[in-house]
Structure formats: C-alpha cells, structure tokens
Structure 1
C-alpha cells in the first residue's frame, strides 16, 4: 500500500507529514515510525507528523520523534501545519489545542498558556521552578516551564561553549524529570533577544525548536531579563516570541514545503 507524504520544515527542523484527514491512514507502529524517520534508510526527519480529523478542533496533529515515541507538542510542526492548512486553523495536540494563522511571509501560532507549577512540568518532587536548586556540572540553577511539553532552561555566558551533545541526554533522563525533559541553554544577546541551543527529548540536538524558543523567552520575560517580543536565534534561524505575563504565548516564524512523495508501507514494517 502506497501512502503519500509531504516533506516540510521550519528553520531546518524537518517533518514528514502524513495527511489522514480525508483518507484514513493504516496504523503506523513504533518501529515503522522510527524507520521512516531514519535519514539513511528511510525518508528522514526530525519528527513524523500525522494529521487526523478532530472533534475538538479543525484537525488533530500527532507528533512522533525519531525513536518512534509520541511527543506532546512541536511549535515548528504547528507552523508547518498552519502553512499547509492555508487559513486560520485550530489544531488539537496531545499538549492541548493551539491556533495557527498566516502572518506576512510566515506563520503565527498561539501556543497556549505556560505552566510553571512543579506538578505541571512534571518534577519528581516540589521545588521552585523559577530557580531550581539543582545542577549538572557547569549547568546550574535552571528554570522550568511546560509549554505543551516540559522544558528546562539554563542561562549561560556562551551557548557555543556548552557540550550539550553530552550533557543534554544526562539532564533529559535525570530522575528529577519523570517524563524526561527538553534541555536548552540560552544566552542573552540584547534587551529583547537571546541565542538558544536545544537538546530535544527523544530527538537530540536540533536546528530549531519552537517550544524551546517559547520556553526560553517566557522564562527570560518572567525573570525580567528581557522585553517582549523576544527574538530567539537558533542554529536554523530566528523565531519571534510574544508573551505578556498572563496571556497566550505567540510564536511567529517561517515554514516551508520541500517536496511531496509516497512510500510503500510494507517496506517499513
């Protein structure tokens, strides 16, 4: 059975989008999802995105990391889906309902409200998520927030000097984070700008992470380090994050369709 797909990306964070809104897609098991994401023997992507009908929104977006496991949210994928929809769209995700709309040459996504309580991250035990009394080697005193998925952010003097490829997986799987966690290092570069690198839970180092940009900007704004909107510079490009302390997070940035194709399901079973 051949299944069509759309290859898309947001700032180099790339996706294989399978659209099952009008024609149901056969179940794609964990091993099949991982095989499709493999860059050497599959199509290759940072996340596999499955679109389905929704009773609660215009469509449902399911997100799967390269290991085949399901994720709760992905801001860059939401922009790609918003571009694909071509109009203002409500999107049901595992992390809640979000809204996307075209904005000039890009896509703006309302990512919902940030959650700061330790139970909402979640953490293994109570602590102040604004100044966590924990650390891993030179990464100390992070802050945590849930923006549809859990993030922990360390503010550092030089993001390039942090061995995130080594420390990222250590922090991600620390017992402090029962559901694992996305790990970011952020460097303030101006009154309304920061530079960011992200180790994504279940995916590893990434060129861009939309929820990571939201998390770092919201924490910086909460700590009064920056003014909104915040320009977040990632290896793949820049996202603009707006948040005013008691409202929704809005993320704006580019998305693009790369090509379309199809795959034989039996080749990936």
Structure 2
C-alpha cells in the first residue's frame, strides 16, 4: 500500500504528518511508527502525527513519539499540523482543533509560515531542588545553567530523565541560560531519548519557570532561541496562574512523498 506523507518542521523540530481522515492505516503499531521515524531506515522525524476528522472541531491531532509510543502534547507538532491543515484546505488562517490535552486555538499569520498556538493554562509549578517541574501538555524539568553552549545536554538530560524520580513515566529535561534579550534553551526529549533542535512545550515551560523565578507579573512576551531557530512565548501571569498562553514560531513543509507499507 502506498500512503502519502508530508514532512514538516518547526524551528528544527521535525515531524512526519499523514492525512488520516479516510483511515488509510488500519493497524498503527509502535514498530511501524518507530521505523518511519528512524533517520537511517525510515523517513526520519522527532515524531509522527495523524490528522483525523472530528465532529466538533476542525480536526483532531494524534501524536506519536519517535520511539513509536503514543505521545503527550507536542507544541511544535501542533503548530506544524495547523500548517498542514491549511495546506489540505481544511482551515484558512484560524482553527480550533482537538489534541490529547484538550482543545486548542491557533492562527496563522499573513506571511503563511508563522503559527501562534494557544497552549493550556498552567497553575502548578513544583520544585526539585533548584529546578522547576511543571506540565504544559507534557511534563517538563527546567534547570537554569551557565555555559549552555558547551553543556553535554545528552549526558545530563539522560541522567535526569532516567533517575529514580522520573524513570518510570519519563520527563523532558530543559536547560536554560538567560541572555540579554532572550532565553537560550536546549532540551533532552523523552520518546526521542536525545536532544532535539526545539521543543515547543519545553520552551513554554521554561518561559513560565523563569517568570515565576523572577516574580514577573502581567502580560509577558519571551523570545527564545533554540538550536533550530527562534520561538516566542506569550502569556498572562497573575502570580498564581499562567493563562492566554501562546507558543509562536515558524512551521514549514519540507517535502512530501509516499510510504510503502
């Protein structure tokens, strides 16, 4: 069977995307998804998404990690699937769609490749010694460091993700360094089990953690630099709740092709 696929990337976070509205794949299993995401023996990607129909929303997003397992919310994946929905003609420049963590609103700018995705509100941020732990649709560990350019993110991220506290359910590990006009963030992602070029829910978590740490209140806009480019996080913070949260950045089609399965 030949199945059409599309490759999208958002700040270097790359995904295989499949139009699943007519259900061309009947038996989706971990091994098949992992094979397709493999960068040597498949298409390659940090994850795979299926776009399906939904009676109450423009579409529904189903996200799988690169290891083949069903994933939690992926922010950059959400922005990419919005761009894909526009490519398919399902939406114009605004949408309401459903993901694993609930409904999401998103809008696409007139330029066509900048997607602003509304994320879930966040009320709880815990501490793990000098780090922060919170869930922005996926669980995240945030630690401020210096010399991030030279840090061995794989080594330290792997150790934290697999320590006694987090090894059962896993956690995404974010390291952040404050720069004069932006935050610099590098992330070790569970499910990929490696550093990725960007993580949308991760930079959202980082921006929130740093706002809490610095006791910043009000409407906050945070530019973030990742290995794959630039993102921006916008939210309101009243000292207790982060609301009206938007993850903003590029989402671009890279190529398309056929999968033989």
> What is the match of residue 89 of structure 2?
none
Matched, 1:262 2:254: no
Tell me the TM-score normalized by structure 1: 0.86
> What is the match of residue 236 of structure 2?
244
- For structure 2, the 5+ residue unaligned runs are 87-91
Tell me the TM-score normalized by structure 2: 0.88
Matched, 1:94 2:86: no
Query: Conserved in 1, the CA contact under 8 Å of 2:83 and 2:115?
Result: yes
Matched, 1:132 2:128: yes
User: C-alpha root-mean-square deviation of aligned residues, in Å?
Assistant: 1.7
Query: Conserved in 1, the CA contact under 8 Å of 2:172 and 2:190?
Result: yes
The 5 A counterparts of 1:104-183 are 104-105=110-111, 106-116=114-124, 129=126, 131-133=127-129, 141-177=130-166, 178-183=168-173
Higher strand share: 2
Distance in 2 of aligned mates of 1:60 and 1:25: 16
Distance in 1 of aligned mates of 2:110 and 2:132: 33
The 5 A counterparts of 1:184-223 are 184-190=174-180, 193-203=182-192, 204-223=194-213
Offset of residue 83 of structure 1:
1.2
Distance in 1 of aligned mates of 2:28 and 2:133: 33
Query: Conserved in 1, the CA contact under 8 Å of 2:10 and 2:80?
Result: yes
Offset of residue 209 of structure 1:
0.8
Query: Conserved in 1, the CA contact under 8 Å of 2:3 and 2:24?
Result: no
Query: Conserved in 1, the CA contact under 8 Å of 2:115 and 2:248?
Result: yes
Matched, 1:69 2:73: no
Paired residues, what number?
245
Residues 137-159 of structure 1 deviation map (CA, whole Å, 9 limit, x = unaligned): xxxx1001100000000001221
Structure 2 counterpart SS, 1:179? coil
Structure 1 counterpart SS, 2:191? coil
Query: Conserved in 2, the CA contact under 8 Å of 1:103 and 1:252?
Result: no
